[in-house]
Structures are given as structure tokens and as C-alpha cells.
């Protein structure tokens, strides 16, 4: 009987055995940035979320941060991607960017890139000169992790206030399945082309919605584990109402793209 119990325990835990949750956190918290406080709070909230994911899934966590006046460069982001040691078809990577960025559409800029996702402010310029979110994501994909979650809270404008907190309390087996039973890539950003994304000092309005969804999924939308990421992305893409501000933009429309495949339950 003792031997049977040991084997059963090993079968249960094998899904996460040796797997690593890599988190590459890129943040524009340089001096003089008008959203620096919100960016720093986003970074703190991301770290707490990643710790919770690692705890629930039993994955090891590798948290890498690219930030600050000296380190916040596009080349630094690429260097950290190149240094990631990925266990192919096993590990999970979260790529997260918080800071200024942009993506004017072709209607307002003939040189706009074809990807609908924003480029980063990592070389101190708001024009499409270097890798955007999708291009960084494809570089991560080339290292062949099992799951990539790419998030950008960019095109930012600071507004006063605080975003409401999201309710907690979700079955941990659903959270485990999110990270251990799916393969593919998710790309999410805080707004569509030609839109600003807005920040409170407490953090980005989009990040305040999306980061909690990574561990507190909307269970009312889920009938089985295969539905979990569909429910998360459906919630993430809901229009965000923005307080009155100097830009005149009163709504922020997040966007998402996914090619996830459910690997089944054990």
C-alpha cells in the first residue's frame, strides 16, 4: 500500500516537475516619467501575481526585471530574452511591459507597423524603430517554451484616482490547468491602435483588470478547464471606461490574440 501511495503522488505532481515560470518584466520607470508611480505599482503587482502562480502550480520562478534609466533599452530586453534558459515544450514565459509606447494606425501614420500590438518606449523614442511587443514575443517563441503570455500596458496617459480591486477566491485546480495544460501563445495589450492607455498612481487601468485574471479567473464563464483562457481573454477585452481627461478619450479598448491548444487533463 505504501508503494502505491508514493506512485500516485508522483503521477499527480509530474505535470509541474522541473518546469519553470519565467517572468520577463520590462518597465519604463525612468526619472521624469509621468506614470512612474503607476508603473512601479504594476511591477509590484506582477511579482505578487507570479509568486502566486508559481505557488499554485509548483513551478520554479525565474523573475527578470529590465528597468531604470541605465537598463531600459531595447537591446537590454533582447539580451535578457537571449539569456533565458528554456526547457523546450515544458516551461512557461510571461513577458510583461508597463510604460509609454504607441501604435498609430495606418490611417494616421503611413509608416505604422503591420502588427496591431504596440512598440515599446525602450529607446526613448515614440516611433516604430525597433521591436514591438509582437516581435519580442516571437523571439521568445523561437526558444520553444510550451506557453507564452505576452502583455503590454502601453500607450499611456496618467490620470488621478485608483482602479477598483477584483474579488478573490478561485479553485486552484483551474489555475493549475491554465499554466500546465495549455500550449501556445497569448498576446494582449491595453488598447487598440490610435488609443491612449490610462494609468492611476495605483497602476495601469488595464493591468488592474488583467493581472488578477491570471490567478482569479471568472468561473461563471467556465464549464470545463478547456474554457479557462477563453473566459480570461473575454474579460480582458471588455471596454474600459476612462474618467474625463485632457485627451477627450473616454474609453480604452484592450485587444488580444491567441493560438492556445488545450492538452487535456490528467
Answer yes or no: are the C-beta atoms of 27 and 97 closer than 8 Å: yes
Number of structural domains, the chain? 1
Any idea what the CATH number is for the domain that residue 174 is in?
3.40.50
CA angle (171 as vertex; 170, 177 as ends), nearest 5? 110
Reply yes or no on whether the pLDDT at 10 is more than 50: no
CB 148 within 8 A of CB 25: no
The answer on pLDDT for 175 being more than 70 is yes
Q: What is the pLDDT of residues 78-118, one digit of tens each?
A: 999 999 999 999 999 999 999 888 765 545 555 555 688 88
Q: Phi-psi bin for 92: left (phi > 0), alpha (psi -120 to 50), beta? A: beta
* Apex 212 CA angle, 11 and 186, nearest 5: 70
pLDDT tens digits, 28-42? 887 777 888 999 999
Eight-class DSSP state of 124? S
Q: What is the pLDDT of residues 182-231, one digit of tens each?
A: 999 999 999 998 889 999 989 999 999 999 999 987 777 787 889 999 99
* Residue pLDDT, tens place only, 145-172: 999 999 999 875 445 566 555 545 567 8
- Per-residue pLDDT, 5: 27
pLDDT on residue 12: 33
Is the pLDDT at 261 greater than 70? The verdict is: yes
Please give the residue range of the domain that contains residue 25.
2-262
Q: CA–CA separation, 45 vs 181, rounded Å?
A: 25
Select from 179, 187, 144 the least CA-distant residue to 262.
179
Query: C-alpha grid cell for residue 154?
Result: 502601453
- For helices 172-180 and 228-236, the axis angle rounded to 10 degrees is 90
Amino acid at each position: 500500500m505504501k508503494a502505491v501511495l508514493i506512485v500516485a503522488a508522483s503521477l499527480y505532481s509530474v505535470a509541474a516537475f522541473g518546469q519553470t515560470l519565467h517572468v520577463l518584466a520590462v518597465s519604463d520607470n525612468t526619472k521624469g516619467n509621468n506614470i512612474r508611480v503607476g508603473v512601479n505599482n504594476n511591477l509590484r503587482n506582477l511579482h505578487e501575481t507570479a509568486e502566486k502562480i508559481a505557488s499554485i502550480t509548483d513551478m520554479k520562478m525565474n523573475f527578470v526585471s529590465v528597468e531604470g534609466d541605465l537598463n531600459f533599452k531595447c537591446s537590454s530586453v533582447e539580451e535578457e530574452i537571449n539569456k533565458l534558459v528554456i526547457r523546450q515544450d515544458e516551461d512557461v514565459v510571461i513577458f510583461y511591459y508597463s510604460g509609454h509606447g504607441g501604435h498609430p494606425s495606418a490611417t494616421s501614420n503611413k509608416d505604422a507597423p503591420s502588427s496591431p500590438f504596440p512598440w515599446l518606449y525602450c529607446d526613448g523614442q515614440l516611433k516604430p524603430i525597433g521591436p514591438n511587443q509582437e516581435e519580442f514575443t516571437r523571439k521568445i517563441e523561437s526558444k520553444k517554451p510550451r506557453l507564452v503570455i505576452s502583455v503590454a500596458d502601453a500607450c499611456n496617459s496618467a490620470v488621478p484616482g485608483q482602479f477598483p480591486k477584483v474579488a478573490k477566491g478561485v479553485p486552484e485546480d483551474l489555475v493549475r490547468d491554465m499554466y500546465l495544460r495549455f500550449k501556445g501563445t497569448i498576446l494582449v495589450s491595453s488598447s487598440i491602435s490610435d488609443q491612449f492607455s490610462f494609468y492611476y498612481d495605483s497602476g495601469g487601468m488595464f493591468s488592474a483588470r488583467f493581472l488578477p485574471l491570471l490567478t482569479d479567473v471568472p468561473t461563471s464563464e467556465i464549464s470545463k478547464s478547456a474554457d479557462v483562457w477563453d473566459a480570461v481573454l473575454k474579460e480582458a477585452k471588455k471596454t474600459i471606461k476612462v474618467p474625463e481627461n485632457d485627451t477627450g478619450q473616454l474609453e480604452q479598448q484592450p485587444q488580444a490574440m491567441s493560438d492556445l491548444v488545450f492538452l487535456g487533463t490528467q
